A and B are shown apart, each in its own frame.
Chain A
């Protein structure tokens, strides 16, 4: 086929304009949050002392700050990843904001907590739930996110999928945190990190296949 003929047929067959990719991504974020919230409230529910804990327990609040920051920073980068040239020169380091906060919280906890208690605080009582429920709550946000990025034109599919996984992990972990009674930063650094990285790894693998065009 001649390139000129291809051009002619492309101009003749203009389809209806598509929705802006940034809007699609925002929609996916919203849908992901709703689904993760619904999954949490309809299954395990928030912990009974949620309101007391939310009132001044810095360890409890830290969980939301860290997870929400992770989701937000991944979203900010994804807003660039949906354009072909979007990630060129993008400030990828913003994704380190949440880990940096968590690290600071861990150091504070190590100062506050007597050494013999470190082990039990890190292992906690809900490790298994954390490892299964965060990836489960994150499945739909991950799916929506991948679908949304697919509507764009990401040129770094694995990295984009990884970011979608981090966003889904942040959302899922924030809602899971409302249930979990293990508030120590040591617990969060151990279990949440693994659970979120499971989603991020799945996102990278899926992105590598699904986000090519």
Chain B
């Protein structure tokens, strides 16, 4: 039942779960394209500026919840359900009505990507600003300033494990707070 696309994506994720960073980057790229198309189809007319917010929230959720993908199952339904969950959540906070059938994620694979050029948002920056001091320094360094874990550890005089833990916790907090900052 799983399509070819599903098979390719699942292979990438399996490699990523074994620690292959390159495969993980490729997986997240492809996942972001699929999500962007499916979300754009539903939000283009009602909330176009929200599309990339939803894409980024979805990627973060996929990252934080990737242990909930069962490696023997198809991956597109998993990704699609997460994206729909995030889209509905974001739209509810904004007061935008949205319907997002899960079939979108199977259908959107064909056709050109008509959503170039909107891939930057202030979404994450705003959420990072709500983190506590230590987590904020770590997340800012890695996510916003593009430093590696090692460089961040050196700059902040922490060990790498502590940086990894702080980064992970910071991302979890951000995922919780998206759109709820007051």
Interface residues on B, range: 35 or more
A186 to chain B, nearest CB (A): 43
Segment of A16-24, A38-46, A101-109, A191-199 engaged in the interface with chain B: A16-24
> How far apart sit A1 and B164, CA to CA, in the bound complex (Å)?
21
Query: Please, which residues of chain B bring their CB within 8 A of the CB of A3?
Result: 32, 52, 55-56, 59, 119-120
B81 touches A84 (CB 8 A): yes
Q: Determine whether B41 belongs to the interface, using a CB cutoff of 8 Å to chain A.
A: no
Query: Please, which residues of chain A bring their CB within 8 A of the CB of B81?
Result: 84-85, 88, 155
Q: Which of A1, A10, A15 contacts B121 (CB 8 A)?
A: A1
Which residue of chain A has the shortest Cβ distance to B29 in the bound complex?
Answer: A7
Which residue of chain A has the shortest Cβ distance to B59 in the bound complex?
Answer: A6
Query: Please, which residues of chain B bring their CB within 8 A of the CB of A15?
Result: 164-165, 167-168
Main SS class of interface, B:
helix
Q: Determine whether A117 belongs to the interface, using a CB cutoff of 8 Å to chain B.
A: no
Per-position contact with A for B61-83: 1 when CB-CB < 8 Å, else 0? 10111011110000001101110
B68 touches A5 (CB 8 A): no
Segment of B1-9, B19-27, B129-137 engaged in the interface with chain A: B19-27
> How far apart sit A4 and B59, CA to CA, in the bound complex (Å)?
11
Q: Determine whether B46 belongs to the interface, using a CB cutoff of 8 Å to chain A.
A: no
Q: Determine whether B176 belongs to the interface, using a CB cutoff of 8 Å to chain A.
A: yes
Identify 6 new A-B residue pairs, CB closer than 8 A, beyond the known A5-B146, A14-B24, A85-B80. A5-B144, A7-B59, A10-B63, A12-B21, A21-B68, A213-B176
Interface positions of B (Cβ within 8 A of A): 17, 19, 21, 24-25, 28-29, 32, 52, 55-56, 59-61, 63-65, 67-70, 77-78, 80-82, 84-85, 89, 102, 119-125, 142-144, 146, 148-149, 164-165, 167-168, 171, 175-176
- Could you name 29 residue pairs across A and B whose Cβ atoms are closer than 8 Å? A1-B56, A1-B120, A1-B125, A1-B144, A2-B119, A3-B52, A3-B55, A3-B56, A3-B120, A6-B59, A10-B60, A11-B28, A12-B142, A13-B164, A13-B171, A14-B19, A14-B164, A15-B168, A17-B17, A17-B67, A21-B67, A21-B68, A83-B68, A83-B70, A85-B77, A88-B81, A155-B84, A213-B61, A213-B65
